[in-house]
Amino acid sequence: MPSPSNGAEATETALRLLQVRERSEAELERALRRRRFDAEAIAEAIGRCREWGYLNDARFARLRARQLLAQGRAVGPRVLADLASRGVDEDEALRALDDAADEFPEEELLRSLLDRRYPAFRYAGADDRERRRVIHFFLRRGFTLSLVLSILKEER
């Protein structure tokens, strides 16, 4: 199968990919590379998408950080790691996290997630195994141990 090299074809593919969901430049580049477009066609497609306003890493980072925090899937360093894995610049990722963290304070997120995920959990009445399970659930999402313990030990 010959590799596509046409810039217009790559741009059309890029627009279809961006129609499905917002992507970072690095993600779009990887997707086009997987479809075997050459470097020149990829650069042309990314340039056009950026020029037309369909591709913007700052916007993508803000949306992704907000989404992760709103869903309780990640906070702090986990959000930064997710954005880095998607090719977002570290400074841009930090700005996006700061903006989203203002809207979603970690303490409120942790309490909300605790109420949704473990409504019957009581730290004082839980055995060690259950405590570890709940604590590690929150640690995997990027919450700090001190915050997790302080919230879990609160009387609910």
The model's pLDDT over 98-119, given as tens digits with 9 standing for 90+, comes to 999 999 999 999 999 999 999 9
Residue 2 reports pLDDT greater than 50: no
Give 3's pLDDT tier (boundaries 50, 70, 90): very low
CA dist 148 to 106, 131, 136, Å?
Answer: 10, 11, 9
> Residue length, the chain?
156
Distance from C-alpha of 111 to C-alpha of 114, rounded to nearest angstrom: 5
Share of the chain above pLDDT 90, in %: 92
Residue 4 reports pLDDT greater than 80: no
- pTM of the full predicted structure? 0.84
Distance from C-alpha of 75 to C-alpha of 109, rounded to nearest angstrom: 9
Domain residue spans of the chain: 7-51, 57-103, 106-152
C-alpha atoms less than 13 angstroms from C-alpha of 15 in its C-beta half-sphere:
13
Give 155's pLDDT tier (boundaries 50, 70, 90): confident
Residue 49 reports pLDDT greater than 90: yes
Rounded average pLDDT over 68-88: 95
Share of the chain above pLDDT 70, in %: 96
**Can you count the helices (H) and strands (E) in the chain?**
9, 0
For residue 35, the one-letter residue type is R
